[in-house]
Amino acid sequence: MAAHATHRPAAGFTLVEVLVALVIMAILSAMAFRGIDAVMRAKDTALAATDRTLKLNTGMSQFEYDVSQIVDSKVLPQAVMFDGATLRVARRTHEGIQLVLWTLQDRRWQRWASGSYIHMSELTDAWMRTQQWDAISGNAVTVLDNVDSFQVYLCNPAAVNINGCSWNNVQSTQGAQAQPVQPGGAKVVPVQPSAIRISLKLPEGELTRERELPRW
C-alpha cells in the first residue's frame, strides 16, 4: 500500500508581523540617531569651550607679560591710560619701547602693538595713530570673541589695608590727577599705582585678573 506524503504549509511571517517589525526598527533607528546627534553636539560644544579657554589663557598670559614690562614713556599722559574701551601702555622690549593697546571693539577683545622704537618722535607718532582705531585695526589680533565689557582698575598704594587694595577706576583716577587742588593751580601729584586689575564680562560670567605693576 503506497504511503501518501503529508504537505504542511511553509512557516513564515504574516503581513501584520512584518509591519510591526518595521515600525519597531524605525523607532530604534530614530532613537539611535538622536543619541548619536546628541553625542556629536556635546562633543562640538566641549571642543568650542576648550578652544575658548585656551584663547583666554593665552590672552591673559600675554596681558600679564605686557604689564610686567610697563615703563613710563613720557609720551603717554599717564603710564597707564584707559578711556572706557581701550587700555594704552608703553612696554619695554629688547629693541626699545613699544606702545600696546588692549581694547574692546564690536564685542571682540583685541590687542594691538606698535613697532619697537628708540626715538621719542617715533613713539609719539605711534601714540597719535592710536587715536584713530580704524587706521590701526587691521593689524590688531582678536584675543577673544563675545566679550560684553572690559574695565580696568588701579590699586592705590596709599589706601592698602588689611583688606587689600582700594581699587579705583582708571578713568576717575586720571580725572582726579588732572584737577588743580590749590588756588595757585598746583595739581595732584600722581602716585604710582601698585597693581592693575582687569574685568571681563563674558556670557559665561565675569572674569577678573590682577597683576602687580613694576616700578617705573
pLDDT in tens, 38-94: 777 777 777 888 899 999 999 999 999 999 999 998 888 888 999 999 999 999 999
Say if 105 falls within a structural domain: yes
- Answer yes or no: are the C-beta atoms of 85 and 103 closer than 8 Å: yes
In total, how many domains does the chain have? Answer: 1
Predicted TM-score (pTM) of the model is: 0.73
CA distance 73 to 99: 9
Q: Which domain holds residue 195?
A: 49-212
- Candidates 57, 49, 86; CA nearest to 204 is 49
Mean per-residue pLDDT of the chain:
83
Say if 38 falls within a structural domain: no
Say if 182 falls within a structural domain: yes
Say if 117 falls within a structural domain: yes
